Structure 1
Amino acid sequence: MAARQTRFLIREKVFIVNLFKTLTNFPNRVERVRINFAREFPGQKVPSERTIYRLVDKFETKYTVENLHKGNSGPRRTARTDVVVRQVENVVTRDCRVEYDRPPNTSRRNELNLSKSTWNRILRNDLNFTCYRLIRAQHLNLQLGDMEKRFRMCEHLKDLPDDELVKTAFTDEASFCLDGSVNIRNCTRYIKSRRNGGAGWRGLVKNFLHETQKFPEKVMVWIGSCCGQLFGLKFVEGILNSVGYQDHIRNVCIPQLKGLNNGTLDGITFQQDGANIHRQPAFLD
């Protein structure tokens, strides 16, 4: 393996050239330069005869002792060129103006056929763009006071001691559509953030909309959590009605909750949202 070349500071290079020029009429001036360099810069490696001659020749031909290869060394940029950066900017700006049912351009799949690393570096380092993803939120009926009810429930849970909170049976469900609905992870748009002079998410709200068909085929997954354990896992194809929900609670969830709480339901608080099947009189009784 070749020895690593010693790098000299600019002031060290200037000292070598000036001293070499000053000692024109002295014999063995190269050796004198090496001796004086060791005295002037103790601890620094003394330049070789070849290095001294190369520095002097560079000064006489290039009129400088600085590194002329600075900025031109290392791997060349073949993808992050100015043209490609402008193309990426045009693509992501155009995507922000169209509905998101159109296949978007992302780091994993883009019409410019750029690699994931190149795409991300251009957006992050060259364009200062921020990634925004689609957000789904449950519709709240403000006229029925849904927002106020949520606030009251949050205040109640916040005031509960830990030993009571851990015995609260939280339940929830998630539906997975089988009709080819878009995956939120694939719905990505890039736009310059507000702190970098862009519009931020406000530039996406009007166009970031997805329309789905009515009553799509889907599978629902229902599960609960209590006492640090999961219970009541159930897969439902289609719609779960109140009768099926009551049977599941009575025959599956209650026995499992008793098993998590030493064979009793004492101290267990069963939490559920305001869905219609949760508020049937027969179930509440």
Structure 2
Amino acid sequence: MRPADGAAWITGASGGIGRAVALRLAAEGWTVYATARSAEKLELLAAEATGPGRIVPMPGDVADAARMAACVAGITAEGPLALAILNAGIYTPMRAQNFRADTAAQMLDVNLKGVTNALEPLLEHMIARGDGHLAITASVAGYRGLPDAAVYSATKAGLIAMCEALAMDLVGLGVRITVINPGFVATEATSVNEFDMPFLMQPDEAATRIVEGLKKPGFELAFPRRFALILKTIGLLPNRAYIWVVRKALGWDKL
């Protein structure tokens, strides 16, 4: 999609990848509607936008289905919504020893339900128009379970499967769907990790990969490519071997 085709909408736009992508799209001429819970952060983001495009703050909580419907209605009242990047997500490290149902529920509400809350009005709009591009930010952590990420990996695996199923439904309807699977990106969420993060990437670099990648054909946009390939290859191992390899890589086999 191009700026001439309509507006763009990004959730989780107040920080990290979402913020960097919003700025990059505005610099390329898009009118970007930016959604996050903090109206103040969105106003600061809008003031920072440069280039021929602009950023329009649209505060909202993705866990609020009514608000997501209102966001889409507000955008489409002004014109077509050509590109939607459903990026909002949270990550809390959690292992078996400190598993909390309430913490798990928060991740499920934002990472999974937050996407479905936005998808309903988006699909209705784009299918009716016979045009549009949906992009959903999952993670390489969704390929298989990863340490400290039992619930997070589950939510991202769910998003990958959801995108795969929707891609089958959208064939012939004029709507494209892309699943975005980043590796480690230096954000507030990943700053809590207590281990060395391989192939760590800065948000601006991730934004470049996303914006340029969405211009090309293909269902999955995964980066860094070498890291994604390593995880996919390890993921082919039987369960027992996979668990042994991951524990050894982290040094947990010596605990």
Normalising by structure 2, we get a TM-score of 0.21
